[in-house]
Amino acid sequence: MIRKAKVSDIKAIQALVNKHAANGAMLPLGISELYDKLRDFIVYEHDNKIVGVVALHFIWEGLAEIRSLAVDTDYQHQGIATSLVKRAIEDAREYGGSRVFALTYVPPFFEKNGFKEIDKAELPHKVWADCINCPKFPDCGEVPLALDL
């Protein structure tokens, strides 16, 4: 089941994201940050367990970012990540978004879902709001991809 995250999901979301962050696949999330951005998160629940998560965060005007996409390793390659991204795209459309982007180490996954590689220069609000504060800046190696809605 895919649904909006609840306060009771925060620790499970943090554990899932930070497990992937420990492997260098994404940045870790703190509890405070999760409470601040709880409404951005969508979860995939299976047998009362959070096995997948994604966040949709609006950056500027119609521009939204797909963040913190993670699926429990025991549940990968079952279409969960694709389902979460499709739901995030649907939500972006409902909010009136015109473009969704992701910064990723796995470009083929997003390309399979209709995203096209872009130049980071097309994302100045992201770079100056978030990337500049990242410990991996300016050479994180993530590839920016976008999907026009």
pLDDT tens-digit map of 45-99: 999 999 999 999 998 889 999 999 999 999 999 999 999 999 999 999 999 999 9
Q: What are phi and psi of 51, to 5 degrees?
A: -115, -5
The class (CATH top level) of 2-148 is alpha beta
- Here the contacts of 107-116 (C-beta below 8 Å, separation 24 or greater) are 107/143, 107/145, 109/81, 110/85, 110/145, 110/147, 111/145, 112/82, 113/82, 113/85, 113/86, 113/147, 114/147, 115/145, 115/146, 115/147, 116/145, 116/146, 116/147
Share of the chain above pLDDT 70, in %: 88
pLDDT at 13: 97
Domain borders along the chain are 2-148
If one compares 132 and 40, the residue with the highest pLDDT of the two is: 40
Mean pLDDT is lowest, of 16-25, 106-115, 118-127, 139-148, for 118-127
Over the chain, what is the mean pLDDT? 89
Q: Does 120 score more than 90 pLDDT?
A: no
pLDDT at 31: 95
pLDDT at 128: 46
The pTM score is 0.88
Q: Does 114 score more than 90 pLDDT?
A: yes
According to DSSP, the residues that pair with 145 across neighbouring strands are 102, 117
